[in-house]
Amino acid sequence: MIKLTRREKRLVYLTAFALTVWAAWVALLRPVLDRRQTLNRVIPQNETALQNISQKAEEFDLLRQRFQSLQNNISRQSADFNLPAFVDNLTRQHGLGDRVRNFKPETQPLDDRYAESVVTLELSDLTYRQLILDVLAPLKTAPALLRVKTLDLTKSPETSDRFSATLQIAHLSVL
């Protein structure tokens, strides 16, 4: 066996210690630091994504509740409600029968459970008061859920306080 001097022994020990520190760095410490750096970058991204998903889940729950409420309201409606007859009676009751220029009822199935009835009603020579009190207000108190899909107003060229109105009134029903 070779005898090493004290200086050589120190050099061997120092080299062994340096190799041990380098091996510990490569095998243990460097992967931990790399993983920590990756997590510091990825965690904020995932937290943002989680917040977006939570917000979308809340919106989805709200929409599901509103849809369920709409379904309940539709199912509680009278099955024999007839939108064209209702609109016709409405115009006659409020003395607007002579102002009706066009009355076009349509029914479209939306899917296998629901259908939408739409009445296109064109009225002429109306005042704003007649439109609001005699047409729109009674729609709100109708025995079924009704909505105005479109409302087009055209001012009358002869008088400034009169106009023509074209409404599309819709009703959703269960088939």
The single-letter code of the amino acid at 61 is D
Q: Give the predicted TM-score (pTM) of the model.
A: 0.62
Quote the pLDDT of residue 4. Answer: 79
Q: Kindly report the three-state secondary structure assignment for every residue of the chain.
A: CCCCCHHHHHHHHHHHHHHHHHHHHHHHHHHHHHHHHHHHHHHHHHHHHHHHHHHHHHHHHHHHHHHHHHHHHHHHCCCCCCHHHHHHHHHHHCCCHHHEEEEEEEEEECCCCEEEEEEEEEEEEECHHHHHHHHHHHHHCCCCCEEEEEEEEEECCCCCCCEEEEEEEEEEEEC
Quote the pLDDT of residue 106. Answer: 94
Distance CA 97, CA 135 (A): 12
Quote the pLDDT of residue 67. Answer: 87
Quote the pLDDT of residue 175. Answer: 74
Q: For 144-166, how does the pLDDT look when each residue is reduced to its tens digit (9 = 90+)?
A: 889 999 999 988 777 778 889 99
Structure tokens at 54: 């939570």
pLDDT tens track, the chain, 175 positions: 678 788 888 998 999 999 988 888 888 888 888 888 999 999 999 999 999 999 999 999 999 999 898 878 777 777 788 899 999 999 999 998 888 999 999 999 888 888 889 999 999 988 888 889 888 999 888 888 899 999 999 887 777 788 899 999 999 887 7
